[in-house]
Amino acid sequence: MQLTFTKGHGTENDFVLVRDLDATVDLTAEQVRRITDRHAGLGADGVIRVVRARDVPEVADQAESAEWFMDYRNADGVAAEMCGNGVRVFVSYLLREGLVDGLSWDGGELAVATRAGTKRVRVDGDELAVDLGPWRVVGGEQALDDGGDARVAVHGLDGSVAGLSLDLGNPHTVVMLPNETDLAALDLTDAPHVTPEPPNGTNVEFVVMLGAGHVRMRVHERGVGETRSCGTGAAAAALAARAWTNVAGGGEPDAWRVDVPGGTLRVLLRPGGTVELAGPAELVADGTLTL
């Protein structure tokens, strides 16, 4: 099988986009693993199939408002609900290929179908911003008062530390560390151990405060490993930091900067209880892949 692909990244969280405008490509988990293999394949954190929502029964109910479906799979081949960096790369590809109406680099907005519901993407200068939709602290006010609702053990830290579970359409567990030395000392080669174990796994973000509305983050992504960036993870990190600080009486702002190994993302709490993620999206290569 020959596939037309494009390689792209958002703050170095990288993806292989597979063009499937006729809805004829049915990638297996093994094929996704081969594509994303950094030694025997193209190498990526995940694969995004570019396909119309109407042609995928799983999301066909979104087709009335969103023509295109971001069919995202992590490097392990497992379908994921959402990817904040991936959706911006996906839209950048649609723009380049002239596959969208109502959105251009001069402005506008585009609805994209995902497994976590329809997301709206807009141009923000030379970057793209996506409304990730509603979010919640899984354990509610009690989890905030308790300092967390999970314990996280990871190589590089003694014992376990508190973590806070958030739902942004996909699962996250955020750990606040006291300083950048502890953040740098982490070994994220293996997945952190989270107790209680989330039923569908979780992305784990390790965060340090750098100032008001400013954090630095490293992340271990579910089904991938440590990545250079995670878009929904950056939003989770900012939301958790803001919630914890406000519980302590800090009065943190709604606009946040999140520094990740691959660059910087911006997170904004929007009216109505949604959160927006903004950052770059780069397309770096095109080609044909034989599987």
Residues with catalytic roles: 83, 230
In DSSP terms, 8 is beta-bridged to 15, 283
Beta carbons within 10 angstroms of residue 199's beta carbon: 7
Beta carbons within 10 angstroms of residue 2's beta carbon: 8
Rounded to the nearest angstrom, the gap between the alpha carbon of residue 205 and the centroid of all alpha carbons in its chain is 11
Contact criterion met (CB below 8 Å) for 170 and 81: yes
Give the sign of the dihedral formed by CA 91, CA 95, CA 17, CA 191: negative
Beta strands (DSSP E) in 11-116 are 13-19, 46-52, 68-74, 103-104, 107-114
Give whole-number Cα distances, 251 to 97, 98, 143, 209, 243, in Å. 44, 44, 19, 14, 9
